Amino acid sequence: MTANDGATRAGDSFLRIDGLFKSFGGLHVISGLSFSLEEGEILGVIGPNGSGKTTLFNLVSGFLRPDKGTITFCGNDITNKKPSAICRAGVTRTFQLVKPFPELTALENIAAGRSYGRQPAISLREARAGAQEVLEFCGMAAKRNVVAGRLNLIDRKRLEIARALGTRPKLLLLDEVFAGLTPTEIEEALNLLLRIRDLGITLMIVEHLMKVILGVSNRVVVMSSGLKIFEGPPGAAIHDEHVIQAYLGEDFDA
């Protein structure tokens, strides 16, 4: 379960966002957003509610189309591609509200992704074997036959990540997977993210918990009202006046 094949061509960024715009009616949700992500990084995307973070994920994963701008992945233009094509290229995302197939078991949920993502399984047996491997990696082997609708919150969160891993991504977009977890569960989830990174999978994380961002991110992009107001190391972000005023607040304690 690795993502080392199909490396980025020399001179290309792994993911590049160039001049991205998205509006809904007269509301500008993303305005001229540009940044790049290098292979092997963990990039945190933070900002206040309504700043455009989830819209960014929807654009990168093909669930929305930009009004203007380009999205390049491994040197290939994926702007306006369908979500299924982007997933086959190696980009997978999770959702804030977990969306498993509630009547299927944990193993069956992951096997479905294993059948349609990058390097899809050619048989049900192969899909199920791949799903079992992912379950073991995520610490859910004992829940393989539990119907997804009966899992508790932390296990549904794990399953959401496991379903994404089942598609064998090169880039994994994680949208607030830590929301609602206890401190102990957050530590377990952080360890899981680092192990995912060690597989060779690049991560981009939307998250409000600064403990998570500071704990795993190599860089952060800070958004406010659809604009990028900061890009750089997370340690520098928490001392940036624009970030403090727009998002963290004067009382933030690092």
Provide the whole-model pTM: 0.91
Task: Give the pLDDT mean for 151-166.
Answer: 92
What digits encode the pLDDT tens for the residues 66-93?
999 999 999 999 999 999 999 999 999 9
DSSP the chain: ----SSPPPTT--SEEEEEEEEEETTEEEEEEEEEEE-TT-EEEEE-STTSSHHHHHHHHTTSS--SEEEEEETTEE-TT--HHHHHHHTEEE--SS----TTSBHHHHHHHHHTTSSS--SSHHHHHHHHHHHHHHTT-GGGTTSBGGG--HHHHHHHHHHHHHTT--SEEEEESTTTT--HHHHHHHHHHHHHHHHTT-EEEEE-S-HHHHHHH-SEEEEEETTEEEEEE-HHHHTT-HHHIIIII-TT---
Q: What is the pLDDT of residues 5-31, one digit of tens each?
A: 555 554 578 999 999 999 998 899 999
Beta strands in the chain (DSSP E): 15-24, 27-37, 42-46, 68-73, 76-77, 91-93, 171-175, 202-206, 219-224, 227-232
Question: Regarding predicted confidence, which is higher, 115 or 145?
Answer: 145
Q: Scanning the structure block, which residue is given the tokens 């790049």?
A: 36
Per-residue model confidence (pLDDT) at position 134:
95
Contact 170, 197 (CB under 8 A): no
Q: How far is CA 81 from CA 59, 78, 89, 149, in A?
A: 10, 5, 10, 31
More confident residue, 180 or 163: 163
162 contact partners, CB below 8 Å, separation of at least 6: 106, 109, 110, 134, 135, 137, 138, 140
pLDDT digits (tens, 9 = 90+) for 184-228: 988 988 999 999 999 999 999 999 888 889 889 999 999 999 999
